[in-house]
Amino acid sequence: MAFYVTGHPGKAIAPLKRAMELDPDLFEAHFFCGLSCRDTGDFHNAAVHYERAAELQSKNHQPLAMLADAYFAMGHREQSVSAARRSLNRIEEAFGRNPDVAEVLGMGAVSLVYLGENEQADRWVRRAILLDPDSYSVRYNAACNYAVIGKPDLAQECLEFAFSHMPRARRWLLGIAKHDPQLDPLRGRPEFEHLLRRLEADVAAPS
């Protein structure tokens, strides 16, 4: 988990798999292995581990939200929509129809766009930012939401905020931004490509 959080997903996979060998029912091992596989571009294995994590914690919405991303990246649209719907069902069961937790709203908004509920996604992501404006994960989920619903300038603004205000998260930001399919609408835009180059230069610089 420490390898992943500090932006080294490739190094995280082997110890996470060893943890699964020791305890096949360890939620954290499957969930973080899913995240690490995603950030190295291995969406198939990411989906496998997200599915298992969702089984192990039957009320947790996060692995299903991530599963929707993985299926979307692989072009499995029906499975992506199903995973997003299951994630939102878990959110509603745990937090009600109008969550008031920033992280839940941010991740829920990302799932809503897979269901075509863009207006609600927009409301949720704006509420998430108001509740926790300094959270890099909230800002990142907001960027994904805005990219998908056709608001690239707002998406770029959220990514720039994360870059400027959360320097310790830059390695993580680079790893996820390189492969996240929800950011595909931004690829090729000069502002986004310039941000990636700045992230690469920052990560490569000696500490």
Q: Give the chain's count of helices (H) and strands (E).
A: 12, 0
Q: Where are the domains of the chain?
A: 1-76
CA–CA separation, 54 and 72 (whole Å) = 17
* Contact (CB, 8 A) for 196 and 156: no
Cα torsion at 82, 84, 86, 89 (round to 10°)?
A: -140
Amino acid at 157: E
User: What's the pTM value of the predicted model, to 2 decimals?
Assistant: 0.92
CA–CA dist 75, 88 (Å, integer): 21
What's the confidence (pLDDT) of residue 6?
A: 87
Per-residue pLDDT, 190: 98
- Candidates 139, 150, 149, 126; CA nearest to 176 is 139
pLDDT greater than 80 at residue 207: no
Question: Quick check: 97 pLDDT over 90?
Answer: no
How many other CB atoms are there within 10 angstroms of residue 193's CB atom? 12
Two structure tokens written together for 7: 């932006």
pLDDT in tens, 16-69: 999 999 999 999 999 999 999 999 999 999 999 999 999 999 999 999 999 999
| CATH number of the domain located at residue range(s) 1-76 in this protein | 1.25.40.10
Ramachandran quadrant class, 76 (left: phi over 0; alpha: psi -120 to 50; beta: rest): beta
- Give me the long-range contacts of 118-126 (CB less than 8 A, separation at least 24): 118/148, 118/149, 121/145, 121/149, 122/149, 124/99
